[in-house]
Structure 1
Amino acid sequence: MINTKPMSSKITQVYLIGLIVLLVFYGAILYNTILYAENKSGERRLAIAAPFHFTLFSQGHTGEIQIDPMMKIYDQYDILPSSIKRRLNRDWQGSMHFHFEDDTEYSAFAQQVMTQRGLAIVYALEDVDASEWEDVSFAIFQAVIFGLGLLIFIISALISVKMAKRISAPFSNLANQLKNNRNENENYAPLSVDGELSLELTQMLTGINSYRSRIQDAFTREKAFTRYVSHELRTPMTVVRGAISVLRLLKNDKAEKQYNRIDMAIIEMEQLIHTFLLLARDEDLLGLSTTISDDSIKNLLIDLEPTIKANQVSFHQQVQCEFSLSVQPLLFSAIVKNLLKNAVNCSVGGNVDLFISPQRIDVIDNGVGLDAKPRGYEGFGIGLNIVRDICEKYQWQFSLKSNKNKGCTASIIF
């Protein structure tokens, strides 16, 4: 599934995720730093004070001595509390911090000094709990830190949203211009974007304007070519029509059938030229309408009757009801004729069915299908391309698909 969130939302999302990660990271660092600094401070304080009190052992004192409500000193390992002995080796010297399962904490310091028994390792223990913050005070401190972090998060989020909108504004502006200029009457003038442009956006805008210029040039050439070709074709057709009129004055009954065929070909050519001109022009054809009924379709298909008979095709048409369709009459005629001509030429000796309703057109045949060419008929000709162009002009849906058994179905949904 394509993610269609605006660019500003995506940029804001990235900023906020990064901000949350940073806040959590630095919050954890702050919490652990406080605990670490507290422990190291206790160890350092004990390492400074304990040697001063160890002189009592040099003066003849022995055993366990209570220095103050927090500190005790011991002249031998065996009289240490059992919980401490389980964590200390007999020969250990230095400072260490202990955190026990019952949430009590102690700092320990050991040093070799001269006693009445000679050189011996003596110990100092300090109850850290007595000097640490109370749980309520620490909870208040944590709440204050959390509140400050939340405030920083909100301020940073607002700044991130504003920056994201500022960064994405030129891209959104360009996207809106492209979205609003998708109609067929667009002149493909160069686009411009206000605001501070990045290098990438400048390159994108240059590329888009280059393509728009090329498209405009192609449309101009196409329209000019269509007009020129139409004009040049009409001149010889006028000459042919005049020549046929002169020949008819000779009263040659044997040639009258051929004259009629030439007249029909000229009429078909004129309709084709007119269709090309309607497709090439930027005129608004939506105001025109065509009344569609069973009789109008029969009149429309008179020109195809010789081809239907020649190909021995069984043809059936069904118009669901009489209705009016917003389409230029000649373009609707071109759609129906080209779809049927394609089906008839692909279904020699077969069946062709035409179904028309206010919602769609379906032409169903049992011919060679899409994967093969009928004998004597080179592909599907220019007819289906004309049908596609007309459908694009009116924003109709055109599809051509193979049937399960044989042949294919051409459908147009209005």
Structure 2
Amino acid sequence: MSKLSFKRRIASSFIVATAVIVAVVFIVVYFTVYFTVYNRLDNDLSYEAEKHISEVHLHEGSLVYIDLTGLKEAEHREVQVNPVFIQLYNKDGSPSDKSPNLKENSLVLDKQNVGSHVTTVLADKQIRQFQIPYIKDGEIKGYIVTAMSLESTLVVLNNLLYTLLISYPIILLGLFLISYKLAARSIVPVMDITATTRRITQSNLSERVELPEKDDELHELVVSINNLLDRIQGAIVREKQFTSDASHELRTPLSVLQGTLEVLVRKPRQPEEYQEKAGLCLDEVARMNRIIDQLLELARFDNHPVLDEKNTLPVAEIVKQILLRRDIQIEDKQLKIELDLTNYSNVLRVSAFHGEIILDNLISNAIKYSKQEGAISISIKSSDDRVSFVIKDQGIGIKKDDLERIFQPFFRSQALQHKQIKGVGLGLSIVRKAADAINADLSVESQEGSGTTFTVDFKGILRMN
């Protein structure tokens, strides 16, 4: 099956529809003219018959003209110019009198079609004929037959028919060429889109399809394609980032595992040494699991999620769930948690997935870096268009020079001075990406040795009345 181009399909579909419409119009035109011409001819015949019925009478049983003046008119004498033929018949069907233009010819009386207009033949030429009875004293005494030539009528109808038949394919051909040209012009933007998308490869994902000037369906299509390319580019960038980060961060624990196992296989050792090295290996495996989990979280963020009742939660509810999960860690460090909900309304909800990641990481860090028997204060406030979350700890704080770097992947402030605090440096990087994904503002204030305050303004909210 041959491949038909889109513009040819458009042109073909258009021409098929047009062909049907034009054919219907032409048929209507032809038959309108046909019935109009024949109706006018029939009316003229009826008029002539009624006119002549008053000009005849019975004479010795035959139907004859009272006065022959009417038959001397040109239309009754001549054959060339709009002839009107008249023939009188007696009651028994025998011819009685006729118009001079009939000469040696006669009109045929058809008693079956008295009162009707019929098409018949006179001298090998088509005529239109009408016959009515001559009635006197309630009885039919004879018949008047009138007829007119159909030559001029048939010439008009045939000329019209030939004109329509000849013009039909010419019109269709012209319309096809016009529609083909218009279709070709209409798909130029589509061809541009195709050419642009063909140029876009994995190594050239930054190029985008140019938006059409008119805000129409093609404009919406291009916007959708560009949005799709943005998502694809983001996914590939995240994939590359995940691969790069994973290979970078997993190299250290894998090296530790390799070195530890190499030491163990060199010579037989005491059970205590095997237990110690096995514990070290388990710690490194757990660390790798944490790294992979956090890297996966970084890689799967989708910007600007659609918020609805199913995927949103009130901020206070998310915080309470996190504190409940972290209850053992809080008790181990004997921390005091202060939760202020004075200016908070539960009708405002945020993305449950992103809110959980942001708040869990911030609360986890506050617990992790707080001093023993310290305090953590959490304040949640809501206004018309946002929810603000503020968490303040009394922990070790962050150096001023490190504040601008804490959101970078794998960065840990003063990691060597606080080796007892486990982590891989991805938590705040995840928080930043999650906040950006839902258009939330994230800020930090810290003083080394005194504690840290994180503030999150959730602006992408859903109001539940």
Normalising by the smaller structure, the TM-score range is 0.3 to 0.5
Greater radius of gyration (CA): 2
